[in-house]
Amino acid sequence: QVQLVESGGGVVQPGGSLRLSCTASGFAFSNYGIHWVRQAPGKGLQWVAFIRYDGSDTFYADSVKGRFTLSRDDSKNTVYLQMNSLRPEDSAIYFCAKVSVTFGETYSDYWGQGTQVTVSS
């Protein structure tokens, strides 16, 4: 069955870095784009970034542009979110999600359980 597992979260000081991983199984990973969405404590969902199925394009929310970088390694069925210059307002649960349509980008039909990122001194 389809599964996405996030890892790499933790506690980091402001200005620090973390690399999140999203490891997938149960589907043809190289045919699907991956979104990252975050959720601050008690708050709603906020889109963070997207990488196309072939890694040819990446897109970022204005709030993270220039600080976060997405990449993918199809040999490991994994997408990486490199987060630099972290700020307290980046604290959230980070979810990765598979797009619902081959080569698409619009909706996400499978989500991971999320990994917690806390930015605090």
Partner 1 sequence: AIQLTQSPSSLSASVGDRVTITCRASQDSSTFAWYQQKPGKGPKLLIYDVSTLESGVPSRFSGSGSGTDFTLTISSLQPEDFATYYCQQFTSYPVFGQGTRLEIK
Contact flags string 1-30 toward partner 1, x per CB under 8 A:
------------------------------
3-state secondary structure (DSSP) of residue 71:
strand
Torsion angle (degrees, nearest 10) of CA 100, 104, 108, 112: 90
- Bridge partner residues of 92 (DSSP): 117
Contact flags string 86-105 toward partner 1, x per CB under 8 A:
---------x-x--x----x
- Residues 61, 49 contacting (CB under 8 angstroms): yes
Q: Which residue in 34, 35, 78, 79 binds partner 1 (CB under 8 A)?
A: 35
| Minimum CB distance to partner 1 smaller for 25 or for 100 | 100
User: Could you tell me the smallest distance in angstroms from the CB atom of residue 61 to partner 1?
Assistant: 7
Q: Interface with partner 1 includes 61 (CB under 8 A)?
A: yes
- Residues 69, 61 contacting (CB under 8 angstroms): no
Name the phi and psi angles at 35, rounded to 5: -100, 150
In the complex, the residues that contact partner 1 under the rule CB under 8 A are 35, 37, 44-47, 50, 59, 61, 95, 97, 100, 105-109, 111-114
